Amino acid sequence: MTPGVEDLLDMFPRLINRCLAAYTRGDWGVSADRELNDEAVKSGEGRILAAYPIDPARPRRGYAENTVWVITEADRSVTTLLLPEEY
């Protein structure tokens, strides 16, 4: 995880578990890359990007505000939780 996500853990202690649980189920959250993600999982090739609200009680405004991304690199070497502004 990036420093920005780590800073959120005091306010949202279950954030990582909630995001990773959805991610492992193939629930890509509010990501616009759903079809690409599904194909990447099936083929074993391509990056996977999911987006989840940080505070589910607060509406998401745009793609970046109140959003944490989970990205798995195309070669499957690493999965990272980050804020969009840290990309």
Q: Which residues of the chain have pLDDT under 70?
A: 60-63
Burial 48-67 (b: 16+ CB within 10 A, else e): bbbbbbbeeeeebeeeeebb
pLDDT of the residue at 11:
93
Residue 39, number of CB atoms within 10 A of its CB: 13
Tell me if 65 sits within 8 A of 59, measured CB to CB: no
pLDDT at position 57:
87
pTM listed for this prediction: 0.91
pLDDT of residue 61: 62
Q: Could you say which DSSP state residue 2 is in?
A: -
